[in-house]
Amino acid sequence: MSDPTTTQSQQHYKRVMLKISGESLMGKLPYGIDPEMVGTVAQQVKDVVATGIEVCLVIGGGNIFRGVSGAAAGMERATGDYMGMLATVMNALAMQNALEQLDVPVRVQSALTISAVCEPYIRRRATRHLEKGRVVIFRRWHGQSIFHHRYRRRVACIRDELRSTSQRHAGRWRIFS
C-alpha cells in the first residue's frame, strides 16, 4: 500500500480516507470479524500514519449484517439499515482496539448517537483529531438509512477536503482520486 520509509516531502497526500469493507475483515471466516485480519489491516494503517499522512477510516458492516438482505427477507428497509449501521460500529470498535494495541492514537465518530462507545461526528473535532496525528474512524455517514454509504463517502471527501480515497475489498486496496 504505502512504503513506510516514504518521507513527508515525498508524500502525494496530506490526508487520506480508507474505506474498509466489512467483508475484508472476515479474513478466511465465513462470517464475523477475524482478529488476525483486523490486526493486519491495523498494521497497514499504522505504516501509513508513520509516514505523517493523516488517516480517516470508513468501515462497512457487511461481514455482520446487510440492511438490504434484511429488507429482502421482509424486514422494513429502514430497520435493516439501522441494524447494518450498528454492525459498522462493531467493526469500528474492533479496528479501534487493534490500532490501540499498536499504540496508534485513534477516535471513533458516529452521526448515529452512541455516546457510550463513540464520539458524535463533528467536522471540526474530526479535523483536529487528524491534525493531532490521530486516526479517525467514521461510523457510516449521517445516521440515515437507504442512502448509499459510497455516495456519502464521496460527498464527505469533498466536504473534508480529501484528495483521494482508498478502498480495501477482497484483500486488495483500490485508490479513488
The pLDDT tens digits for 77-94 are 778 878 888 899 999 999
145 touches 81 (CB < 8 A): yes
pLDDT digits (tens, 9 = 90+) for 144-176: 444 445 545 544 554 455 554 555 555 555 554
What domains sit in the chain, N to C, each tagged with a CATH number? 8-176 (3.40.1160.10)
Among the listed residues 50, 54, 52, 19, the one whose alpha carbon sits nearest the alpha carbon of residue 130: 54
Higher pLDDT, 6 or 15: 15
Region 65-72 average pLDDT: 69
Please give the model's pTM, rounded to 2 decimal places.
0.75
The contacts found for 131-135 with CB under 8 angstroms, 24 or more apart, are 131/54, 132/105, 133/49, 133/54, 133/105, 134/105, 134/106, 134/107, 135/45, 135/49, 135/55, 135/56, 135/57, 135/99, 135/104, 135/105, 135/106, 135/107
pLDDT digits (tens, 9 = 90+) for 20-50: 989 999 999 998 999 999 999 999 999 999 9
